[in-house]
Amino acid sequence: MVLEATMICIDNSEWMRNGDYAPSRFQAQADAVNLICGAKTQSNPENTVGVLTMAGKGVRVLVTPTSDLGKILACMHGLEIGGEMNLAAGIQVAQLALKHRQNKKQQQRIIVFAGSPVMHDKKALEVIGKKLKKNSVALDIVNFGEDDEGKTEKLEALLAAVNNNDTSHIVHVPAGPNALSDVLISTPIFTGDGEGGSGFAASAAAAAAGGVSGFEFGVDPNLDPELALALRVSMEEERARQEAAAKKAAEEASEQDATMTEHASEGPSGADNKKNEIPDDDNTLLQQALAMSVDEPASTQDLQDTEMSDAAAEDPDLALALQLSVQESTKDSSSEADMSKLLADQSFVSSILASLPGVDPNDPSVKEMLASMQNQSESQQKQDEDKAPEKKEEKEEKEEK
Amino acid sequence: MACTHDHSCEDHDCSSNWSLYKHIDLSKVTALNEANPGSVKSVFKAWEERLNSTGEHLESNEGDPELLVYIPFTSDVKIKSISIVGGADGTSPSKLRVFINREGIDFSDAQSMQPVQEWDLVENLHGVLEYQTRYSKFQSVANITLHFPESFGGDTTQIHYIGFKGEATQLKRDVVATIVYEITPNPSDHKTRAETGGGLSHVE
């Protein structure tokens, strides 16, 4: 929860076109920047983050330190790749931007993404580092991308000059299958000097560590937030229904209800919910076990509903069909009464008839038939399907015609 | 308690004169270019302790004798004079420049700005020298920044004691401490007299 103003220096030089970090070095860098901004603003709402680019025509400040995440994310769009990175100038401009921060109580920090070769010599970098240390500015270096001779050595020397009591860090990220942001999550750049990490970082790390399977429902919330949201909502609703069933069952279920309904009514919010949902799964399993042992019919129905609703969420048409079937199944098991009720519903029957080819509902003969059907519906206690009486009507109609 | 003034100490209590250290807001004292973060707080102590060098002292980074110390007070004070005890072997500061009521000064600001007052210091290992201020300029000091640009040739600058002599007023600087921010106003908080009853004022 350190109050901090951070300037992020992005490398948008030609070397960032390379694809050795998926999808491209520049894109990996942008993702990492977004993640850092989120982590910083979440760990302390008064933290501010600013962004500048080091290559291109020259060092350019895109956003001065602000706590408005939207502004920061917006400025990352439409960045052009080109030119050569000027590390020294970038750091110095970052220092200047931090000097003019609005809240002087914030600690100053610069995060540098060094992806292209470093042109400056070690001495110059050390002088810069000393100046940063003198003004108590911390520096985090992300060494990725190009790895030419001396680059690592220079950056390490820079870090040694800046480092004051381990507030500054350097991270070397080699090219590989892991995304740049995933690697950075576990570093002190995110966890903030070993304070214990923010909830954001911890839960994101848990999700990333599990890979695709680590995400609930097998869907990455970042890739498809709406789908993840829909799945989570349906899961919450299902849980709420199971609670209601379990409530009738045992005393223990009613105790857990309090916690469960809280979670259900919270609704989907952020990654923080992921942490809550892991113990929730244990709770739901326990409830299911209890419910099953005590109240068999209701729970089995609910279990079936669970499976169906999971599938349903993926296909809205299927969901509609399932809803209809669920409505029917919750009625009396004696479907004969249902049939007769359906038949008695004149509008329903006429709509069915209208869909049949060659039948005109306004035909007086059909109307007669409907009227007689209603009278006969009580006596027609058969287990025929809907179509059977209609077929009868058809035959009778044809006979009449 | 030996007080190496040219007078006998029974007449007045030397240490009470230098008691402004009690009005320093120690938690908010910061220093730039200090070798050990937080060591700056050790230099503010009672006048009797000023030669006590067993504890920590303030030292600048290797090879860079510049120091900047920011000291906020808990209430406005009037400073009559300042005393500095430095280190031996040329590590005492040779110059002092002060700035009043300015926050967030860093080295580039300090070097370019005109100080309120500056002194050439002498090596003052026993803490007997005091540097008088132009009192009229130090009448309501909420915070003071001391800038030590150089030392007497040493690689670093060491400071063992900083003392202030003067008076503390009970006034505090205007700090808007309690503000209630309203995102949406709550009408019940803003009842006018007309609503609470009695639209007409009555004369007694």
pLDDT tens figures, B13-63: 566 777 888 888 888 899 999 888 888 888 888 888 888 777 788 888 888
- Does the ipTM surpass 0.95? no
Return averaged pLDDT per consecutive 10 residues of chain A, 401 residues in all.
91 91 88 91 91 94 93 90 93 94 90 92 94 92 88 94 90 86 84 52 47 51 75 87 83 54 43 45 65 54 48 57 62 50 61 64 66 60 49 57 52
pLDDT at position B126: 82
pLDDT given at position A346? 60
List domains and CATH numbers for chain B.
14-172 (2.60.120.470)
Inter-chain residue contact A134 with B108, CB threshold 8 Å? no
**Residue type for A51, please?**
V
CA distance A239 to A185: 32
pTM: predicted TM-score of the whole model, two decimal places: 0.61
- Nearest Cα neighbor of B52 from B61, B62, B42 is B42
- In the predicted model, what is the mean pLDDT of chain A? 74
Q: Residue B158 has which token pair?
A: 């060491």
pLDDT of residue A301: 46
B32 touching A (Cβ < 8 Å): yes
Q: Closest Cα to residue A78, out of A60, A97, A99, A104?
A: A60
Q: Do A136 and B64 touch (CB under 8 A)?
A: no
Chain B residues touching A134 at Cβ < 8 A: 32-33, 61, 64, 66, 107
Neighbours of B59 (CB within 10 A): 21
Mutate to test the interface with B, among A100, A136, A168 (most CBs of B within 10 A): A136
pLDDT tens-digit series, residues B150-201: 888 888 898 888 989 998 887 766 666 667 677 787 788 777 767 666 556 5
How far B19 CA lies from chain A's nearest CA (Å)?
28
Residue B140 DSSP one-character state: S
C-alpha torsion sign, points A309, A315, A317, A318 = negative
End-to-end Cα spacing for chain B: 67
Q: Helices (DSSP H) in A170-224: which residue ranges?
A: 180-185, 188-191, 199-209, 211-214
Give the pair of three-digit tokens for residue B59: 């030292």
Q: Which of B37, B66, B103 sits opposite A164 (nearest CB)?
A: B37
Confidence of residue B12 (pLDDT cuts 50, 70, 90): very low
Q: What is the pLDDT of residues B89-120, one digit of tens each?
A: 888 899 999 999 988 888 988 999 999 999 99
Across the interface, of B32, B37, B103, the residue whose CB is closest to A135 is B32
**Does the distance separating the beta carbons of B37 and A135 come in below 8 Å?**
no
What's the confidence (pLDDT) of residue A297? Answer: 46
Residue entry with tokens 């933290």 = A47
Determine contact: B69 vs chain A, CB below 8 A: no
Spatial CB neighbours of A201, under 8 Å, sequence gap ≥ 6 = A39, A185, A190, A191
Chain A residues with beta carbon closer than 8 angstroms to that of B106: 99, 135
Which pair of structure tokens corresponds to residue A215? 């995400």
Cα A297 to Cα A167: distance, rounded to the nearest angstrom:
61
Task: Report the residue from B37, B103, B106 with minimal CB separation from A135.
Answer: B106
Whole-angstrom distance, CA of residue A165 vs CA of residue A168: 8
> What is the phi/psi pair of residue B98, to 5°?
-120, 150
Q: Note whether B59 contacts A: Cβ–Cβ < 8 A.
A: no
Q: Do the chains contact at B33 and A134, CB–CB below 8 Å? A: yes
Q: Quick check: A134 and B107 CB within 8 A?
A: yes
**What pLDDT does A266 receive?**
42
Task: Look at residue A283 in the predicted model and tell me its pLDDT.
Answer: 65
Query: How many Cβ pairs within 8 Å bridge chains A and B?
Result: 20
Tell me the average pLDDT of chain B: 82
pLDDT digit string, tens, across residues A225-234: 788 788 888 8
Q: Does B155 touch chain A (CB under 8 A)?
A: no
Chain position carrying tokens 């006969």:
A376
- What does the buried/exposed string (b/e) look like for B178-199 if buried means 16 or more CB atoms within 10 Å of the residue's CB? eeeeeeeeeeeeeeeeeeeeee
Give the chain A residue nearest B106 (alpha carbons): A135
Q: Are the Cβ atoms of A99 and B108 closer than 8 angstroms?
A: yes
Q: How far is A134 from chain B (nearest CA, A)?
A: 5
